[in-house]
Amino acid sequence: MGGTFSPRPPRREGPKPAWSVPPAPGLTLRQRVERREREAGLRCCDISCGLGPSDEDPFTDKVSEAVSAMKQLTIRGKTEEGANACEHRFHSACLVSAERVALRGADTVAEDGQVNVSCPVCRTTGCVKKEEWDEGVVALEA
């Protein structure tokens, strides 16, 4: 029964490397689905988007057409005309809801046909047109 075993290699002397967190495995399934829904125009960047598809509701072409037909807004900077304050896009109702939460129910201030808002994702300040804001208010009340 005499097997031959090779001796263990000697241990390296010196300090052990510091433990570090292993790299993340990537996006979760939910994050991947929501990213694709945003790319398709079905969901806006608001974390609590109430207009995007739901897990409980069956997804049909009728739902897809209704949600993708909804206009999404970008927050424009206050200084340059036409320049976006950030790259995030929102349904008007989602932006109104997020801004009301951020202001704790206080009314927004409209000046020169513009409503001052801050991005719910990155908190960059900018403005949207009063007409676009009013569309969101009406959509929330419906």
pTM over cut 0.75 = no
The answer, yes or no, to whether residue 81 has pLDDT greater than 70, is no
Cβ contact 81:124 at 8 Å: no
Amino acid, single-letter form, for residue 47: I
* Per-domain residue ranges of the chain: 29-141
Please choose, from the candidates 55, 18, 25, the residue with its C-alpha nearest in 3D space to the C-alpha of residue 37. Answer: 55
Which of 19-33, 39-53, 63-77 bottoms out in mean pLDDT, i.e. has the lowest?
63-77
Question: Predicted confidence band at 4 (pLDDT cuts at 50, 70, 90)?
Answer: confident
DSSP 56-68: SSPP-HHHHHHHH
* Rounded distance between C-alpha atoms, residue 126 and residue 65, angstroms: 30
